[in-house]
Amino acid sequence: MDNDKLQLFENKTIRTAWDEETEEWYFSVVDVVAVLTEQKTQRGASNYWAKLKQRLKEEGADQLLTNCQQLKMTATDGKKRLTDVATTEQLLRIIQSIPSPKAEPFKLWLAEVGRERIEETIDPEQAIDRALETYLKKGYSEEWVHQRVLAIRIRNELTDEWKKRGLEKGKEFAILTDEISRAWSGMTTRQYKRLKGLKKENLRDNMSDLELVLTMLAEASTRDISQAEKPEGFAENQAVARRGGNVAGVARKALEAETGKPVITSQNAADFAQLVGDVVEEAAQLPEHREKKDDKES
């Protein structure tokens, strides 16, 4: 656990911790409460959180409170003390119960996301359209975005093939993905992310054109070999994954020999904003929020 990483929101400190094993951020609940409720002291924020926990319990959120963990974080006096922390999902649920104007943008954003997910369930094409729009907003080129969408399709076809072979989503899929990655790049997914300095970010969203193309080649090759040979059991599928990844590995080495330059790079998409800032910015663009802002300005 990588503790005491500080993030700033409205010039206020939010203590965070990164768990590399689960690839999950943990946020100090008291710090977030202090910002959103404009508490002037740490004691005031702690008292507010204590009352909020009681309210959450009355609302039936026992499972949320049970799953919240405690981690040692550096307090204002410099000493390490246990403090309640929450994952992103848990934190957003807690924010929904905070009656504060500063919490309203988060609630509007959550309502908008919920509406979009319902629409995407009815019409899946909307999910693709929104994904394209999001990538373009982040500054990716149209050519890269089209490659990324193709990569998603190939990945889905591969996982569908794994399901047909009786493999389980989760641990087995992750192991096979690592086998493919190691065969073509020489690294597991986690090692690859570490090279690029990534944590929660998606590895493929931080790949260059060539890295993305070779990832697609590795997964498409694995899919085709599996469809041709119909491997049975995890061990046989693992061998197929290595062979599929090796196809892209051979291509990578051949290209590097021709160009004299490495294909794999530590560069990443550097324009990722921190979670809290993104949420507030998104909320500010909602029609309801814009109307209120326009009314004030007029």
- Over residues 7-45, the pLDDT tens digits come to 666 667 788 888 877 778 888 999 889 988 988 888 899
Answering whether pTM is above 0.85, one says no
Q: From 91, 74, 79, 82, select the one nearest 24 (Cα to Cα).
A: 91
The per-residue pLDDT for range 152-186, each reduced to its tens digit, is: 999 999 999 999 999 989 899 999 999 999 999 99
* Measured distance CA(36)–CA(247) in Å, rounded: 52
In this predicted structure, what is the pLDDT of residue 1? 57
* Measured distance CA(281)–CA(134) in Å, rounded: 13
- Cβ pair 252, 184 in contact under 8 A: yes
Q: Exposed, middle or buried by CB within 10 Å (0-12, 13-18, 19+), for 164?
A: exposed
* Measured distance CA(189)–CA(187) in Å, rounded: 6
* Measured distance CA(97)–CA(238) in Å, rounded: 46
Cα distance between the two ends of the chain: 49
Rg (CA), the chain: 23
The residue whose two tokens read 């193709």 is: 150
The per-residue pLDDT for range 107-133, each reduced to its tens digit, is: 887 788 788 888 878 887 788 788 888
In this predicted structure, what is the pLDDT of residue 287? 52
